[in-house]
Structure 1
């Protein structure tokens, strides 16, 4: 049995015409001989009646709502979406079984609001597929050993889809969205951004973690464990989209100017924090990071030296972070409204001159680099947020993306 998992996001199931387009992709996969498992998100985005954020707004004015009860509410969006989608499939003559995350065998931890998948028992799904039924599964949700409904956090439907793909040993996991695939940059910022035909898991994970919102990083990590190929596709076209896999041969198939850098992405609404001790204080770095952890503040993009600690936090956490550091009698400087610009490419590692070209591109635009770091596949530069658009365009142009 050849299994394919197809996930349709909120915009893909938001209206009847969009759901009809989604069903055409399911029928096309069936004609190619696949048994299809469909994973659906809640319908639409905030403001639309059954979107997750709209449901959350129903309890926004309530003082006491338990995390458990909130998960029950949030899971309703996907349930509504799955039932309606299943009904439309039946209307076209298909045999369909609709399952909640728990019924589909998705067992999770009890961390309400951000549960992790502990294991998946695919037996129920396999029995339904063997009866030539399409299986529609609610994304974003699972169930604890005690039978409690949980949700998987932001990007949870992506996670549901790839986890099911791994459990079912799927041929592909298709992530259908409102774009044609992964682009070399945000096309709203870089007008000549183009679609990438192939990406490695590491590249797309870096794209996703640095601000590109096409797929959640956790979903990529799951698919990578078993090398299940992911295709990021548009619901509104038959274009093959972007194929994500571990295959190095895909890198070799790229045009020559695509081998070093794959694309650029960004994350903003950040503040850079620089911390110094008033005197030579052994272990002050430990005090800094422990205080952030104790205050529930996530730190990113950090550089540590004997004299100084530099890192970023979301703008919304700056006051709390600074207050915690002042309480430790530490010297604090902040630069608000900064942005991380990330240059991503599996071909970066071991190639001389990549950073030189990035610095050259930014210098030509008189953009100040506040901080930088690198990994095997990514080079990050911190810039003032009002320079972010220029920085993205400059790097994109410098590498002929």
Structure 2
């Protein structure tokens, strides 16, 4: 069953009726620019064709009720007027998956003049074909679908950037994951065969044509099936190191430094903090160079930048894992133009830029390498840069 049909089926099980409407939003792949977003730097993500669907109905009692294919055993329900008391202080009382849709409702209500006593209550059923924990931002897909639906139903009139910001507030505060705004912006603003060049300080965004089909290239994703969680683990440690480095170097954010500042940084910082800072500074430079290269020479010329990005994440930021390194190294050896891990790290996926004719060869080589290493069988598939959040019906 497709995800959109599954959402409708779940909604009918929940309510006994058809939904008022359907909204969806995509996951994303970050072509380059990892851990630069919360440092107010530059990123180059694109939306993918895999999406989360929200079947939504209207209720007249001021309550929000959500059910998900991730945990269909029981819906989670709350009064809209109670959400400010739940987030963030009592968020642990709510199942983690449900903090995303309820958190979006809370973020929209608290960031606008909307009255929780006056807006319509909603029933929401969620289903998705974005892999969870694969570094493809299944969370932003949920946030984008819910934000788009509530924006329309409640008549908030918010623009896409404001909806992306609400998603990020929900993820940071309602869920407790210290991520930047890149994922939500990509999910809201995506376009076909294009990436979004985003300045994470100003939120200025421009569309950069990728031209993959014209160049005979595909983007292959290797989901290692090593799951990660951004609300726990090393992600927060990396963010704290970046904030510490910026403070010691006397700048508001690492975005304000360039490669010319690295010698001074090495003198002032301990080795670990220096390497974290070096990754962010050089990654910002790689993002900007990738945009220039795409515009001037096309996608086939960006391979070395992808390779350098992975090396920096592996060695300086230390967020790769053996499965990701194996996926990247094997894809390159099998003929990929370039490859890197994508997403927050500690698991998730790698991406490889591959000639169309070589996709079966690269895929088979990665699967064989994982088998030989004793790793779980990876999920290898291609993605297409696709459009952002919208109403489906």
**TM more than 0.5:** no
Based on CA coordinates, which of the two structures has the bigger radius of gyration? 1
Compare relative contact order (CA 8 Å, sep 6+) and give the higher one, 1 or 2.
Answer: 2
